[in-house]
């Protein structure tokens, strides 16, 4: 495994699905995580399927993973307050 100071070549190709408690569409991806959740906080689920990819020498082909969590406020407000989002679960399988 690479050290955190090493530069590692990586690439992924696949599908990404998300759902959250905001109205209509999640505003986070299109605002670089700076938008406020439309209902004050956001509960979310992200699911990824990697059809082809590598992280250095590690083959990521066929990897599926999900991240579930809740963010109490916009990213820019978390930076000022020092709060972090609650990530409830992260699971992966091939």
Residue 86 lies in a domain: yes
How far apart CA 35 and CA 76 sit, in angstroms, is: 8
Residue 1 lies in a domain: no
Q: Is 40 buried (19+), middle (13-18) or exposed (0-12) by CB count in 10 A?
A: exposed
Q: Tell me the pTM.
A: 0.64
Residue 2 lies in a domain: no
- Tell me the sheet residues that pair with 15: 49
- What pLDDT score does 86 carry? 63
Q: Which residues of the chain have pLDDT under 70?
A: 1-5, 32-33, 73-91
- What pLDDT score does 1 carry? 57
How far apart CA 38 and CA 41 sit, in angstroms, is: 7
Residue 46 lies in a domain: yes
Start-to-end CA span in the chain (Å): 20
Map residue 79 onto helix, strand or coil. helix
Q: For the chain, how many structural domains are there in total?
A: 1
Range of the domain at 80: 10-93
- What pLDDT score does 41 carry? 82
């Amino acid at each position: 495994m690479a050290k955190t100071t090493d530069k590692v070549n990586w690439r992924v190709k696949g599908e990404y699905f998300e759902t959250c408690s905001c109205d209509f569409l999640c505003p986070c991806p299109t605002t670089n995580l700076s938008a406020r959740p439309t209902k004050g906080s956001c509960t979310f689920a992200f699911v990824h399927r990697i059809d082809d990819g590598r992280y250095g020498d590690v083959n990521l082909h066929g990897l599926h993973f999900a991240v579930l969590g809740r963010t109490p406020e916009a990213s820019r407000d978390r930076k000022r307050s020092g709060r972090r989002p609650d990530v409830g679960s992260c699971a992966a399988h091939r």
